[in-house]
Structure 1
Amino acid sequence: MSETVITVQGSARSEMPPEQAVLRFTVTADGPERVPVVAAVTAALNDVSSVLSAQHANDGPVSQWSADRVAVTSHRPWTNDGVPAALVHQATASGRATISRIDAVAELIDDLASHDLVAIDSLEWSLTDARLAREQRDVRARAVADARAKAEVLAESVGLGSVTPLALADPGMLDGSGGGGMPMPRVERAMAMASMPHGDVGFSLRPEPIVINVAVDARFSAR
């Protein structure tokens, strides 16, 4: 009996709650005098650093954090009449913090954002590296199993026996050469969702789940 080649696509998906969040912030001030502008940002950055350092100490919710040095730029804006205005100095510093306890995220944001010169730039939810690796491995395996199950159904529907894998590849990469590789996962990292009043903190956060999607093209032979 001649060989029949069956080509299918398998897929798998996994959703799980995030385990940590990465918060990015900026400290900014501007004004006509360079020295007071730099002093204001330096003082605000010291306040932020004190908060993060305290939350990092003694196995606190902040697992790691960093902050840039204060940078200063100057520019001369133009008025509506096309006349150069007085020189404006701007001082900025930025930083990030990884928060390993989800229940502490809203309170930390509230503490930092309460400072007039501090802006929260982004908040990204994620899994730890170890958990992400385990989940990706599981989803990959289920995507390949899904492809095999589809091929077996197709083979059985035309009266053929068991299937033998010939090639695996990312979607769109499978060709007639029989070559291929393991499917790569796509991870959807959720951003912060809308807030709601809660307790003494100005808001609470409800992160969307982390989603891992894997699709794989597969080729099997059946007789």
Structure 2
Amino acid sequence: MSDVVITVRGEHETRIAPERAIAHLTIRAEGPERGAVVERMAALTEPVRDDLAARKAAGTVPEWTSQRVSVWSERPWNNEGKRLAPVHYASVDFSVTFTDFTVLSWWAGEVAEREGVQLAWIEWLLTPETRAQTEKDVATQAVGVAVARAQAYAAALGLSNVTALEIADIGLLTRQEQAPAPAPRMMMAKAFAADAGGGPAVQLQPEDIVVSSAVEARFVAR
């Protein structure tokens, strides 16, 4: 039998518990007077900043950032279709990094009770080192799956010598319009729930982070 070209796809994925969490919150104020709204925003923001600064100094919060205050105005409509007086708004966003999820749970419960504060969402992440190593391991496993498939096809044809010709990410080998290989996904919080007991006011149930890889490979079997 002459040489046979075999083209296969290999995939692999793994799930890892998050190592970091980034909480995103917004502090917002509104009212009829622009200056008063900005002052109110500053008053609402100050205790949150002080608390985060203290937590960072204590080592329970590795990092936090805040953006500039955004100020804008809108003129709402009433039920009769008339424009009302302008309403002024001011908001500032915070991002807070946690490595201890118990601390995060208690903090989220406390901060959510503050006036003008809205806890928007939580990102669940791996450290850069873990992510890089996991991506490497998953890619290696995906290549192994491709090799095993090629060998199985060759064996079914009575061939035993399998040599790799090409290997690439999905879409690069076939040069077709296909979706790229899945990248690591940073999962959001699975659920927020109020706690009726004396524990944290917010219970966090992070999903595992899925790291996946897929490759295309072409082999020649003899």
Paired amino acid for 2:185: E
- Distance of 2:167 and 2:75 partners within structure 1: 59
CA contact (8 A) 1:140 1:184 kept: no
Q: Measure how far apart 1:13 and its partner are.
A: 0.8
Aligned to 2:138: 139
Q: Spell out the pairing of 1:22-171 with structure 2 (5 A cutoff).
A: 22-60=22-60, 62-171=61-170
Aligned to 2:184: 187
What's the secondary structure of 1:194's corresponding residue? Answer: coil
Identify, as 1 or 2, the structure richer in strand. Answer: 1
CA contact (8 A) 1:140 1:185 kept: no
Q: Measure how far apart 1:116 and its partner are.
A: 1.7
Q: What CA deviation, in whole Å up to 9, does each residue of 1:133-189 have, x standing for no partner? A: 00000000000011001111111121111211111122233239xxxxxx9552122
Give the paired residue count: 216
Aligned to 2:4: 4
Cα RMSD (Å) of the superposition?
A: 1.8
Aligned to 1:180: none
CA contact (8 A) 2:169 2:181 kept: yes
- Go from structure 1 to structure 2 and tell me whether the alpha carbon gap of 1:137 and 1:78 turns closer, same or farther (over 3 Å shift): same
Runs (4 or more) in structure 1 with deviation over 6 Å come to none
Q: Unpaired runs of 5+ in structure 1?
A: 177-182
Of the structure 1 ranges 67-76 and 22-31, higher mean CA displacement relative to structure 2 is found in 67-76
Paired amino acid for 1:165: A
Paired amino acid for 2:7: T
What is the TM-score when the length of structure 2 is the normalising length? 0.90
- Distance of 2:63 and 2:181 partners within structure 1: 29
Q: Measure how far apart 1:23 and its partner are.
A: 1.1
Q: Measure how far apart 1:89 and its partner are.
A: 1.1
- Go from structure 1 to structure 2 and tell me whether the alpha carbon gap of 1:129 and 1:88 turns closer, same or farther (over 3 Å shift): same
Q: Measure how far apart 1:2 and its partner are.
A: 2.3
Q: Unpaired runs of 5+ in structure 2?
A: none
* 2:28 equivalent to 1:15: no
Q: What CA deviation, in whole Å up to 9, does each residue of 1:55-97 have, x standing for no partner? A: 211322x211111222221222222223221221111111211
Q: Measure how far apart 1:199 and its partner are.
A: 4.2
Paired amino acid for 1:106: S
Of the structure 1 ranges 113-122 and 64-73, higher mean CA displacement relative to structure 2 is found in 64-73
What's the secondary structure of 1:161's corresponding residue? Answer: coil
- Distance of 1:199 and 1:99 partners within structure 2: 22
Q: What CA deviation, in whole Å up to 9, does each residue of 1:24-62 have, x standing for no partner? A: 1111111112232112211111111112112211322x2
What's the secondary structure of 2:39's corresponding residue? Answer: helix
